[in-house]
Amino acid sequence: MSKKVYVGLSGGVDSSVTAALLKEQGYDVTGVYMKNWSKDLPGFPCPWKEDYQDAKRVAVQLGIPFKMYDFETEYKHIVVDYMIDEYKAGHTPNPDIMCNQEVKFRLFLDACLKDGAELIATGHYARVSNLESRSLKLEENQTSNPQRLTSGARLLKARDGNKDQTYFLYRVTEDALKKTLFPLGDYTKPQVRELAKKFGLATAQKKESMGICFVGKVGIKEFLQQYVKTKPGKIIDNSLSSEGEEIGEHDGAIFYTIGQRHGLGSMRLPAGRQGGLPYYVTGKDMKKNIVYVTTDLDDKKLWTKQIELTTVHFINKEPDYSKTYQVRTRHRAPLVKAKLVRGLSSHKKDILLVKLFDEIRASTPGQSVVIYDGQLVLGGGIVI
């Protein structure tokens, strides 16, 4: 008897092809649309109804059962409120990571298993190793010997490095991975598009969604303006002195992130101040509502070789702290070699210290650093 798999159908091409591939492989497939957000914002209608209908069309085309799970209440509390609170604190959170950790691979997984599913599947570009024992070939630029994997589920990079989404999946648990399929992990995006055409799916030509993960085309600034009251504040260039020089006025420190580049058009500069080199955000004081900037891309405040991580999560087990690993400090950022050190911060908080072999620019509080051992995803943490 074929295994019963519930596929998270988002209404996009990736999840549609996921369902089609699994059906072709002989699985007993059910499509499920997760209703996580339905609120319209001024000028930005929420696309959930369109996405729901697209997901339903694909299910009908494939001849598979179709359901909808409503997680909107939980999602608002777990993901949206978390994101808003983090921005208020001056951080730059990643809601996609929290969504995967708490919604897709916890709420959704639990609901599917309770409903009779044996496995779940999503359209993420990633791979899972569930074999009892196998040799894992490391990347070509690695000098380590092939790693021998013992029994259990391991998260591996997608074969298409450009589409690899393991950065967003590092907080998923091993137990969740044991129940998860990622059929797209061995495909490139162009190949997935071709498969969608081959299967004749209604979503074959659908464009990828942009903007916040759950809102659609709306930008983060427009979204935050609906929930957070902001007021103008000083923009200070402190590249030449510790006191700095006030060069303009911002419309809310909450909207700025470390390393962000701003042209003069985004700043209300004093009369007589002329445009010139681009500015980069080097820091924020949320209590004083000040944004600090520099025109010097080599400013020491923009660069670091050491990052402190909190709320650290390892998928399988603690790493070997004598080894050298690779870390990614943001999605699609180049991998950087690093050593890991467990310790305490100045606030006596349990942290993971990441000592980088090369400097990186704009390490941003609230963002995630993900740790890799070749193809294997070990885990990661959130920048303090």
Which amino acids are annotated catalytic?
99, 213
Q: What's the maximum distance between 2 C-alpha atoms anywhere in the chain?
A: 77
For residue 241, give every residue at least 6 positions away whose Cβ sits within 8 Å of its Cβ, in sequence order, or none: none
Interatomic CA distance for residues 293 and 36, integer angstroms: 37
Q: Give the alpha-carbon dihedral of 118, 122, 126, 128, to 10 degrees.
A: 0
Question: What residue type is 170 in one-letter code?
Answer: Y
β-sheet bridge partners, residue 291: 235, 284
Name the residue with tokens 């498969």. Answer: 195
- In SS3 terms, 120-156 reads as EECCCCCEEECCCCEEECCCCCCCCCCEEECCCCEEE
Interatomic CA distance for residues 110 and 32, integer angstroms: 13
Name the residue with tokens 């020491």. Answer: 300
First to last CA, the chain: 49
Whether 250 contacts 291, CB under 8 Å: yes
